């Protein structure tokens, strides 16, 4: 790929070698025609039959329509049947960002119909379908669709005005190369997202079977070499319990712009702490060092958002929505895992209101059932390995999404 002229809108910023001609821009209406989705149907017509219809969410969520995102309906020859290469656009949404979202159908499958909350578009010129799918989702084209969105509480788009939008039409061979790159990145996102979901499902299942529940004192699954019964312990028996506090935010001297102060943690940071990104820093001016907790403490949200948790990899200070457990003769990662399992019980104690909270006294008396330190450590290490696999694959998903975003901005005009 090479960088090309940035000032000329007929040329993309990033381009494959061997291509230098300006891209044509043509109105969608001059490149194809529209058709409607299902009409004259009631809810009794859905959920059965040998036909299939493409759902609204399938269109909205996927630049390339997923065949598994179709649902049953009776065959009806009075309706428009979908053909390979058709494009679907959402006509209505609660936000302008979701109006005119496009999806391309790439299958040769009979008796497929389109839902009534979208409209179809059938090109009469040759497009590479992968190129078409991602070009219509590129920022410059999405901006034009959002400008057409009309409404207040719900936004709609006119088919007629949508057909006036101009789109770039390079040579088909160049389209094909662009499409191949973007579909491969999209596939990498999907593959790694499935890995995240697989490890999350594994973790959820093992959290239920590797810890004690109900009146039992022996878990269903256990590492070899352990047979002793587990013991009930209050959290205050597991270590020191610290509560958070926020110095006055209006006093700028409390807050550091450098990396020298304490890392400051709020509930929104909890999910990121094991990655250790750079957060806001706090000076010693308005903060008692006695409230600064060491690395490998367990942080748990106890006000409003109950039960979010993590282990900090560096010393941190935190706000009043968080309680910390500094383990003493107990394993941090075991406590993290068992508290993840007990999130719903913690929430039930706090209540379901927007102001729900667990005060320090209640938190200290919250009980869990634990094995010996040696077994705790083995369980904690095991769950940390699963957490690491989730994190690694989630990072890959985020990296590929950022790459896709950048290419969508720079590979189209």
Phi and psi for 139 in degrees, rounded to 5? -55, -40
CB 65 within 8 A of CB 88: yes
What pLDDT shows up at residue 8? Answer: 40
What pLDDT shows up at residue 278? Answer: 52
Q: Distance from CA of residue 329 to its chain's centroid? A: 37
SS3 letters for the chain?
A: CEECCCCCCCCCCEECCCCCCCCEEEEHHHCEEEEECCCCCCHHHEEEEEEEEECHHHHHHCCECCHHHEEEECCCCCCCCCCCCCEEEECEECCHHHCCCEEECCCCCCCEEECCCEEEEEECCCCCHHHHHHHCCCHHHHHHHHHHCEECCCEECCHHHHCCCEEEECCHHHHHHHHHHHHHHHHHHHHHHHHHHHHHHHHHHHHHHCCCCCCCCCCCCCCCCCCCCCEEEEHHHHEEEEECCCCCCCCHHHEECCCCCEEEECHHHHHHCCCCCCCCEECCCCCCHHHCECCCCEEEECECCCCCEEECCCCEEECCCEEEEEECCCCHHHHHHHHHHCHHHHHHHHCCCCCCECCHHHHHHCEEEECCHHHHHHHHHHHHHHHHHHHHHHHHHHHHHHHHHHHHHHCCC
What pLDDT shows up at residue 7? Answer: 41
Q: Which residues of the chain have pLDDT under 50?
A: 4-8, 275-276
What pLDDT shows up at residue 71? Answer: 97
Residue with tokens 């989702």: 137
CA–CA distance, 191 with 196 (Å, rounded to integer): 9
- Contacting residues for 208 by C-beta, under 8 A, at least 6 apart: 341
> In the chain, what are the domains?
24-169 (3.90.220.20), 231-370 (3.90.220.20)
What pLDDT shows up at residue 190? Answer: 95
In DSSP terms, which residues pair with 232 in a beta bridge?
369
Q: What is the pLDDT of residues 270-282, one digit of tens each?
A: 877 664 455 677 8
Phi and psi for 84 in degrees, rounded to 5? -55, 135
Distance (Å) of CA 184 to CA 128, 168, 181, 223, 313:
15, 21, 5, 41, 35
CA–CA distance, 395 with 385 (Å, rounded to integer): 15
CA–CA distance, 336 with 381 (Å, rounded to integer): 11
CA–CA distance, 313 with 293 (Å, rounded to integer): 11
């Amino acid at each position: 790929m090479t960088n090309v002229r940035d000032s000329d809108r007929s040329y993309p910023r990033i381009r494959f070698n061997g291509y230098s001609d300006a891209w044509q821009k043509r109105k969608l209406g001059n490149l194809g025609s529209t058709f409607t989705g299902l009409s004259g149907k009631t809810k009794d017509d859905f959920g059965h039959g040998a036909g299939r219809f493409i759902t609204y969410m399938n269109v909205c969520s996927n630049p390339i329509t997923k065949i598994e995102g179709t649902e049953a309906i009776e065959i009806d020859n009075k309706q428009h049947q979908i053909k390979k290469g058709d494009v679907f656009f959402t006509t209505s949404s609660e936000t302008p960002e979701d109006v005119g979202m496009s999806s391309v159908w790439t299958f040769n499958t009979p008796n497929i119909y389109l839902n009534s909350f979208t409209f179809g578009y059938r090109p009469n010129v040759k497009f590479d379908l992968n190129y078409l799918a991602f070009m219509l989702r590129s920022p410059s084209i999405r901006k034009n669709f959002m400008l057409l969105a009309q409404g207040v509480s719900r936004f709609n788009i006119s088919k007629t005005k949508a057909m006036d939008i101009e789109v770039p039409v390079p040579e088909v061979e160049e389209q094909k190369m662009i499409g191949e790159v973007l579909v491969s990145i999209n596939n990498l996102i999907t593959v790694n997202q499935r890995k995240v979901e697989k490890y999350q499902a594994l973790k959820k299942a093992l959290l239920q079977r590797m810890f004690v529940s109900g009146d039992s004192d022996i878990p269903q699954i256990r590492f070899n070499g352990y047979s002793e019964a587990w013991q009930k312990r209050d959290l205050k028996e597991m270590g020191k319990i610290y509560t958070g506090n926020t110095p006055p935010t209006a006093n700028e001297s409390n807050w550091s712009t450098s990396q020298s102060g304490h890392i400051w943690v709020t509930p929104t940071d909890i999910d990121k702490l094991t990655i250790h990104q750079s957060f806001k820093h706090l000076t010693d001016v308005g903060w008692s060092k006695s409230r600064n907790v060491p690395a490998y403490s367990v942080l748990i949200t106890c006000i409003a958002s109950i039960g979010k948790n993590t282990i900090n990899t560096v010393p941190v200070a935190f706000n009043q929505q968080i309680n910390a457990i500094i383990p003493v003769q107990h394993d941090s990662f075991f406590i993290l895992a068992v508290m993840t399992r007990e999130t719903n019980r913690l929430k039930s104690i706090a209540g379901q209101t927007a102001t729900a909270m667990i005060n320090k006294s209640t938190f200290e008396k919250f009980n869990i059932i634990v094995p010996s330190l040696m077994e705790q450590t083995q369980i904690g290490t095991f769950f940390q390995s699963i957490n690491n696999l989730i994190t690694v694959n989630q990072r890959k998903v985020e990296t590929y999404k950022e790459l896709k975003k950048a290419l969508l901005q720079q590979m189209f005009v």
